[in-house]
A and B are shown apart, each in its own frame.
Chain A
Amino acid sequence: MPKVHDRGGWPNEDPIDHSEHEMEEWERLVDALNGVLGEKGLKNTDQLRRAIESLDLKTYESLAYYEKWTAAMEILLVEQGVMTTAEIDAKMAALKEGQA
């Protein structure tokens, strides 16, 4: 059984969905963060993919594209000691507070 990401030849009867996805502002942010981390040498495409591939099947299939990228970015940044999960969670709580 191939891993979750390795889709070539997986049984799939779904028609190809030709509709385009309008980028949301936060998705542009994820794209940009990813590019900046690449330039700073904090991640390369192989690492990002490896992190995405480490997601379990349910998560892999339930998350949208940039949601997976965000999950992967967190894995890589925590792994490299740039920030901790606790710091991210605290910042998320603070941002949420600020929004309320």
Chain B
Amino acid sequence: MAENGHENGHGHGDNAEYYSLKAEAIQALLIEKGVCTLDDILTMADRIDSRSPEDGAKVLAHAWVDPEYKQRLLADAESALLELGYDLPETAPKLTVLENTDDVHNMAVCTLCSCYPRAILGRPPAWYKGLAYRSKVVVDPRGVLQEFGTELDAAVQVRVIDSSADFRYLILPKRPAGTEGMSEEDLAKLITQESMIGVAQALSPDSVTAS
């Protein structure tokens, strides 16, 4: 658990040495047996590396400036992503975009493991995979929000959405006040990884103009 430093997946030490060797062995055997080629593996590694929260932020910023696009994104995320050139792999689980509003705040978790909209956001952050977040968020979501420095009005309804092997969720954060004249590109900078999981709000516009 936390005390052994492993909880968030910090793979060092004897276990890491053993399992890295095992992974290499599995790779060698898969290639020897003709199950896949080295090229398949390298191509996949590059594809996984190419996804990042910036991709999600671009899509969601577009939804902020184009209400009709937002409706399409909320109705059918995969088709709407394709409009912007994001062709999710066939094997990717179904993706749903949930909108945070003045009344409802959604936040995503995977209590069972680490299910995450990787096809659009890349790899999940370490804390998302850790036992503390997974255990606590369904019992005390507001306490968890506070750990991320997020304060919500008591009247706002908090919904915790549990992801699964088949269903993934991307949160559309509330567009902050004072962003009316901003370009889509600058708006995207306000949309952080944490805000797309729902543990934080989008940044305030001052944070971008200041940088």
Q: Which A positions have Cβ atoms within 8 angstroms of B?
A: 5-12, 14-21, 23-24, 26-33, 35-40, 42, 44-46, 49, 52-53, 61-67, 70-71, 73-74, 77, 82-83, 87-88, 91-92, 95-96
Interface residues of B (CB under 8 A from A): 1-2, 4, 6-12, 15-16, 19-30, 33, 35-36, 40-42, 44-45, 47-49, 89, 91, 93, 109, 111-115, 123, 125-127, 129-139, 144, 147-148, 162, 165-166
Tally of A-B Cβ pairs under 8 angstroms: 187
Query: How far does the alpha carbon of A11 sit from the alpha carbon of B131 in the complex, in Å?
Result: 10
- A67, closest chain B residue (CB): B19
Q: Which partner residue on chain A sits nearest B124 by CB separation?
A: A65
**Which residue of chain A has the shortest Cβ distance to B130 in the bound complex?**
A17
Contact of A17 among B42, B89, B126, B134 (CB under 8 A): B126
- Central interface residue in A9, A32, A91, A96, by most chain B CB within 10 Å: A32
Is the CB–CB distance between A32 and B45 below 8 Å? yes
Inter-chain contacts of B33 with A (CB < 8 A): 82-83
Contacts of B36 in A (CB 8 A): 36-37, 40
Q: Is the CB of B9 within 8 A of A33?
A: no
By a CB distance below 8 angstroms, the chain A residues around B144 are: 16
- Contact in complex: B23, A17 (CB < 8 Å): no
Taking a contact as CB atoms under 8 Å apart, the answer to whether A52 and B147 are in contact is no
Find out whether the CB atom of A70 lies under 8 angstroms from the CB atom of B136: no
Q: Mostly helix, strand, loop or mixed at chain A's interface?
A: helix
> Do residues A5 and B26 form an inter-chain contact, with CB atoms below 8 A?
no
Cross-chain pairs A/B with CB under 8 angstroms, 29 sampled: A8-B112, A8-B134, A9-B139, A14-B2, A14-B7, A16-B133, A20-B126, A24-B11, A24-B20, A26-B24, A28-B45, A29-B45, A32-B48, A33-B41, A35-B44, A39-B40, A39-B44, A40-B35, A40-B36, A61-B131, A62-B15, A63-B6, A64-B12, A64-B15, A65-B114, A65-B129, A74-B22, A82-B33, A88-B29
Please name the residue on chain B nearest to A38 by beta carbon.
B91
Q: Apart from A8-B135, A42-B35, A67-B15, list 7 A-B contacts with CB within 8 A.
A: A6-B111, A9-B138, A11-B135, A16-B132, A16-B144, A21-B8, A66-B23
B47→A35 contact, CB < 8 A: yes
Closest CB in chain A relative to B102 CB, distance in Å = 26
**Which residues of A are found within 8 Å of B166, using beta-carbon distances?**
45-46
| A15 in contact with B24 (CB, 8 Å) | no
Q: Are A66 and B19 in contact (CB under 8 A)?
A: yes
Contact partner of B6 (CB less than 8 A), chosen from A52, A64, A87, is: A64
